[in-house]
Amino acid sequence: MIFKVFASLYPDQGLMGGIMKVTDLTHVIESDMPVFPGTEQPIFEKANTLEKDGFRESKITMYSHTGTHIDAPGHMLSNGRYLDNFEIEQFIGQATILDFSNEKIELIDMDSLKPYEEKIKNVEFLIIKTGWSKYWGGEKYYKDFPSLSEESAKWLAEYNLKGIGIDAISIDDIKSTTFAIHKILMPKDMIIIENLANLESISQEYFILCIMPLKNKNADGSPVRAIAIENI
């Protein structure tokens, strides 16, 4: 979606009033969608109908880490913050994408990240593009996507990032049972965004990322409507 805005967004970073492009980075939540192995797909029930009640309302039962979602530090850490403990600005900021979608790698190591050091210094959110979102809905989505090495995660944890996102089902290797990457990043109060979509639609080097969670109490995670706002 492209529209014209007259108010400024992040004026110190160049997103002034003008022509803006908004891209939806969110997968649709539906009953037969991919979910993390061991969890359950969402259930949609008709709680009220037009015929019976004069209005429609649905009952939705799903895990807090369904679809495009955020992991709070409290998801993995006993003393970690929940999403509702963060101020709203934690969920919006300048972002950039590191594109590994054309590389045949299993681990994103330090050699892969070092060339992007200056870009990483300039942003609040780092998005890792693996290309795996194109496999959404198929068995391959769960297999062989690139993930961060522990050394890379420790290096990124030293930056002043609000969060790190990925277009795959986890920022850890799918076979991990220790979730080391999560546990390296989360003590720094970073949020982790998983199952992003449509990253190929973003053309600018830097953009504003908005990832707004539900505001429920003690939220270890939440589905989000993730959007990118570009100045074009």
Beta strands in 37-132 (DSSP E): 43-48, 57-61, 69-71, 92-99, 107-108, 125-129
Quick check: pTM over 0.85? yes
User: Residue 108's beta-bridge partner residues?
Assistant: 148
Residue 3 has pLDDT above 50, yes or no: yes
Q: What is the pLDDT of residues 79-121, one digit of tens each?
A: 999 999 999 999 999 999 999 998 888 899 999 999 999 999 9
- CB half-sphere exposure, 83, CA atoms < 13 A: 25
Residue 35: how many other CB atoms lie within 10 Å: 17
Q: Number of folded domains in the chain? A: 1
Cα(181)–Cα(197) distance, integer angstroms: 21
CATH number at residue 17: 3.50.30.50
> Residue 85 sits in which domain range?
2-231
Exposed/middle/buried for residue 196 (C-beta within 10 Å: 0-12, 13-18, 19+):
buried
